[in-house]
Amino acid sequence: MVSKIPLILEILPNKSGSPVLEECYEFLYLVLSANEDGVVSFFESGGLKVLAPQMSTFADGSRAMELAMKLVQLSLGKLSLGFISNTYLEELSIIVAAIARQFAVLHNALKFEALHILSAIFSSELSASLHEALRVMPNGIWSDNLRIGITAILQNRVAPAEKLHALILAESAISVMGEKWLINQVNSPDAREPIPADRCLLLVLESSRVEIAVLLNDMAYLKYEASKSSSSNVDSILSKQRTLAIAFSLIEKIIRLVANMGADEGELIDENTFTKVIHGLNETIGVVLEYLQDAKEHGEKKGDDLLASVRVVGSYLAETPVACKEKVQELLPFMLSIEGNDEPSPFFSVCFLLPMLCQTTMKAEGCQVLASFGGDKAVVECLIKMINTHSYKVEDTDSVFLACDTIMNLLLKKEKLPLSLKEPIYVNLLRTLACWAENSNDPTVTMMASSICSLILDHSSEEALLGYPNFNRSDLHSLCQLIVKSLASNEMDMVDEARADMDLQEIISSGFSRWSHCFPYIKGTVERELGDHM
């Protein structure tokens, strides 16, 4: 029977609209169901290339469509999507569009079959490549159909597992189409009235919130209260962590949607909806903070679930830095100490909180909170690692400058803070910033690095620096060249970006006038190279 599959696939394109077509699909379904070799033969004989264009022509809910979907499901179940490879991305995108329509218009068991197939496809290792194929499709009807189907699932009483599948589809659709997909109004093919533009957004937010609350509660129980000897607990935690990643991703996407609303002309959602969204986000972040509090009380600071929790909290605080203020201040030392499973020391947790820290340290209170437990050192260590990781060729410049701004905010208020600028970590920062600027042609890098160094040098001397085992004459020379370069920029025709750094120029020049007598090598070099300009 398997040997007949190539022949059946060869005649199928010529039987469109014929009663024989359905019989051919019945045959293929029976053979593929009974024999794994049939699945391989179907695939190697170009089954997807035959299936894709035909599925677009089948009537909604027809037996032929049902059988075609079952063939897709069998192929996905018995073949890795990696095995399908990028060769069939176009066909797979057409199949996704056809199944998405069934997901939108049907109201029977086949709707859930469509949901499961789409969820399997978007959860596969091929999903990233598929996203690009879907993005370049001539129209976005497939994404409209996904929204209709997802809305129907989330607003009705269905099993939690089905809602999770719907959330997986929502996360994938947003990844392809952008956050505005959540609020694009579209009419269901069989609806008498249009679906409100905000319904999908509110349903996804509420479903994600509930999912996060349940998952974090279950995980806390499994980690801290249930018997730790059971291997099934470990498997259950890992499974819940994967699900949690989907819900967290959706919350972060909703946060970005809300953050971008102010930049768009016109109101994307009304004030009532906006209030509901903010309330839902506040509740969600509150639950996540409680989970982190629980971890802190149990002395648990390592885990990808904890790191993901810090990330979603950081995303929200980046937009509303004073949200949950007291709880955040209480947990800040703990959050900055969290490590992912594969991290030898905290790094990403600090990166995730930098946007919030950069804003809160603009005020004295924020600086005092951070410095009170040595949080400044966590930011300094993070900055050093970001720069050194890329051999001074920094790629994630946004995070680097957020760290620089945070450190700058602290240093400008250092007289009122318990900062110890003579510690080795600040000497290491001097070396790192000097090398970073030396390897960059960006004037903003030069000015920022020099400004921070100038503020640190207020509390040291040439003799003291050279007394550190990790600071030598070569480091002093690099630091000297940085100061010379930044002071010289005042005498040059600066580019627009550098002109925006005139406040930094003032920090550098006034700092030099204060501490130059303690650094004879730097002072002598500046006087020789800049002469009467100083």
Q: Is the pLDDT of residue 532 over 60?
A: no
Fold for the domain defined by 178-185+195-305: Methane Monooxygenase Hydroxylase; Chain G, domain 1 (1.20.58)
CA distances from 330 to 289, 296, 323, 354 (A): 10, 11, 13, 17
**Any idea what DSSP says for residue 347?**
-
Identity of the residue numbered 282 = N
Identity of the residue numbered 103 = F
pLDDT computed for residue 30 by the predictor: 93
Write out the residue limits of the CATH 1.25.10.10 domain(s) in the chain: 1-171
Residue 227 pLDDT class (50, 70, 90 cuts): low
Q: Are 16 and 58 in contact (CB under 8 A)?
A: no
Across 122-126, 246-250, 423-427, 502-506, the highest mean pLDDT is recorded for 246-250
Q: The tokens of 239 are what?
A: 């499974």
pLDDT computed for residue 491 by the predictor: 47
Q: Are 300 and 223 in contact (CB under 8 A)?
A: yes
Residues 466-478 have a mean pLDDT of: 93
Residues 7-27 have a mean pLDDT of: 83
Q: Is the pLDDT of residue 228 over 70?
A: no
Task: Provide the percentage of residues in the chain whose pLDDT is more than 90.
Answer: 63
CATH class, 1-171 region = mainly alpha
pTM beyond 0.95: no
Q: In sequence order, which ranges of 267-303 are alpha helices (DSSP H)? A: 271-297
Residues 296-301 have a mean pLDDT of: 94
Q: What angle do CA 344, 347, 348 make, to 5 degrees?
A: 115
pLDDT computed for residue 89 by the predictor: 85
Q: Are 97 and 141 in contact (CB under 8 A)?
A: yes
Q: Is the dihedral of CA 79, 85, 88, 89 positive or negative?
A: positive
Residues 81-95 have a mean pLDDT of: 77
Q: Are 127 and 121 in contact (CB under 8 A)?
A: yes
Alpha carbon distance 79, 121 (integer Å): 12
CA distances from 436 to 1, 423, 433 (A): 67, 21, 5
Three-state SS annotation for 472-519: CHHHHHHHHHHHHHHHHHHHCCCCHHHHCCHHHHHHHHHHHHHHHHHC
Q: Is the pLDDT of residue 40 over 90?
A: no
Q: Is the pLDDT of residue 191 over 60?
A: no
Alpha carbon distance 102, 100 (integer Å): 5
- The set of residues, in sequence order, having a beta carbon less than 8 Å from that of 292 and lying 6+ positions away, is 306, 309, 310, 313, 331, 334, 335
Q: Are 251 and 212 in contact (CB under 8 A)?
A: yes
**Any idea what DSSP says for residue 196?**
P
β-partners of residue 339 are 302
pLDDT computed for residue 493 by the predictor: 42
Write out the residue limits of the CATH 1.20.58 domain(s) in the chain: 178-185+195-305
